[in-house]
Amino acid sequence: MMEVCNERLSQLPEGSQLDSDDEEDIYSQVLMNERTEVVNNKQRVTDMEDMMKIQDEMMKIQDERLKKQDELIRQLLQQLNPPSDHPGLFSQRQNGPPPPPPPPPPPPPPPSATIS
Predicted pLDDT of residue 45: 85
Using the Cα atoms of residue 82, residue 84, residue 87 and residue 89 in order, give the sign of their dihedral: positive
DSSP state of 89: T
30, 5 contact by CB (below 8 A): yes
Task: For residue 35, tell me if it sits in a domain.
Answer: no
Cα–Cα distance for residue pair 95/40, rounded to 1 Å: 71
**What's the domain count of the chain?**
1
Domain that holds residue 70: 51-80
Task: For residue 72, tell me if it sits in a domain.
Answer: yes
Task: For residue 75, tell me if it sits in a domain.
Answer: yes
* All residues at 6 or more sequence positions from 9 whose CB lies less than 8 Å from its CB, including other chains: 18, 26
Task: For residue 58, tell me if it sits in a domain.
Answer: yes
12: left (phi over 0), alpha (psi -120 to 50) or beta: beta
Q: What is the mean pLDDT of residues 7-19?
A: 61
Neighbour-count burial for 10-21, b at 16+ CB within 10 Å, e otherwise: eeeeeeeeeeee
pLDDT in tens, 78-109: 888 876 665 555 554 556 677 788 888 888 88
Predicted pLDDT of residue 16: 62
Q: What is the pTM of this model?
A: 0.39
The runs of H, that is alpha helices, within 11-109 are 20-80, 91-95
Q: For the chain, how many residues are written?
A: 116
